[in-house]
Amino acid sequence: MKDKTLIVVIGPTGIGKTSLAIKLAKHYQTSIISADSRQFYKEMSIGTAVPTKEELTTVPHHFIQHKSILESYTVGDFEREALEVLQSLFKTTDIVIMAGGSGLYIDAVVHGLDIFPPVDEEVRQKLNKELEDSGLEGLQAQLKKLDPIYYGKVDLFNSHRVIRALEVCLSSGKPYSSFLNKNKSPRNFKTIILGITAPRNVVYERINTRVDTMMEEGLLIEVKGLTAYTHLNALQTVGYKELFRFLKGDCTLDEAIEEIKKNTRRFAKRQGTW
């Protein structure tokens, strides 16, 4: 199937990946596979910038709000299901589009997942307890010491990924990054990567405007409806965790909004390095 091609649209948050992906899908009369891990969940719409109903009906989309935050869904699950969808789509088309800002999930489909050693369950529980008691800052510092290479690549505000790296480091005695890019399964399709970029000030201004628009569209109301689930990994994400802090009384609404903008800018910067 080497005559089949997956076109992957990447770039920082708010750069226009969805728009370009739709144009490409219309041109090639094909489907889009979403690789935005925050858009998988049906309870999260405004804060994840899910494509509009009009956009979703323009061309077929896959992996948009197909799971509940109450369900466990890993990058391994996504890799397996996305490859199954690709094999099905490639029976009737030569080109499929993938778009999203989750580099780990894109890598899983394009290159395959890395193989890691077993993790000590006690280590995992201890790290999660530290996160619950003291927050993410101490875990970030620990990762910087144990694996500075991965520290420079990972989204440091994604607690799940920080803990995952630490539990591998502590259980194996080796850096998490030392297990990356080893013994991966070859894919039977070609991949073309299309990266969208813009000057940093333009990207940051788009992010600020996007956050303001989300608030106007009712993001705070959406977050209020999810307060019973703040412990779930799906909600440990930018746009939600900051507003949870506001609802707990830990900061003002203006401070929470500024934190969303700041953390989104940080995330966009890391997307650029990927």
Residues 190 and 54 in one domain: yes
Residue 2 has pLDDT above 80, yes or no: no
Edge-to-edge strand list for the sheet holding 5-10: 61-62, 32-34, 95-99, 5-10, 190-195
The domain tally of the chain equals: 3
The enclosing domain of 161 has a CATH number of: 1.10.20.140
Percent of the chain residues past pLDDT 70, beyond the cut? 98
Q: Are 32 and 95 part of one and the same domain?
A: yes
Task: Please tell me whether residues 45 and 18 are part of one structural domain.
Answer: yes
pLDDT at 274 over 70: no
Instruction: Read off the pLDDT of residues 113-140 as tens digits, 9 standing for 90 and up.
Output: 888 888 888 999 999 999 989 989 999 9
Pair 158, 268 in one domain: no
Q: 80 and 205 share a domain?
A: no
Is residue 72's pLDDT more than 90?
Answer: no
Is-contact 38 73, C-beta < 8 A?
Answer: no
Using CA atoms, how far apart are residues 193 and 56, in angstroms rounded to an integer?
22
pLDDT mean over 148-153:
92
What three-state secondary structure class fits 31?
coil
25-59: per-residue pLDDT in tens?
Answer: 999 999 999 999 999 999 999 999 999 999 999 99
Structural domain of residue 156, as residue ranges? 121-179
Confidence of residue 183 (pLDDT cuts 50, 70, 90): low
Confidence at residue 273, expressed as pLDDT on a 0 to 100 scale? 65
Transcribe 195-234 into DSSP letters: E----HHHHHHHHHHHHHHHHHHTHHHHHHTTGGGTTSGG
**Alpha-carbon gap, residue 235 to 154, rounded angstroms:** 18
- Integer-rounded Cα Rg, in Å, for the chain is 19
Distance between alpha carbon 82 and the CA centroid of its chain, in Å?
A: 15
Do 93 and 134 fall within a single domain?
A: no
> 108 and 138: one domain?
no
Residue 182 has pLDDT above 90, yes or no: no
Are 191 and 71 found together in one domain? yes
Q: Quick one: 170 and 51 in the same domain?
A: no
CA distance 148 to 153: 9
- Co-location of 146 and 12 in the same domain: no
| Cβ atoms within 10 Å of 183's Cβ, excluding its own | 8
CATH number at 216 reads 1.10.287.890
Asked if 109 and 139 sit in the same domain, the reply is no
Q: What is the pLDDT of residue 153?
A: 86
Residues 146 and 266 reside in one and the same domain? no
Of 179, 208, 224, the residue that ends a domain is 179
255: left (phi over 0), alpha (psi -120 to 50) or beta: alpha
CATH of the domain at 56: 3.40.50.300
Q: Which tokens belong to 252?
A: 């003002």
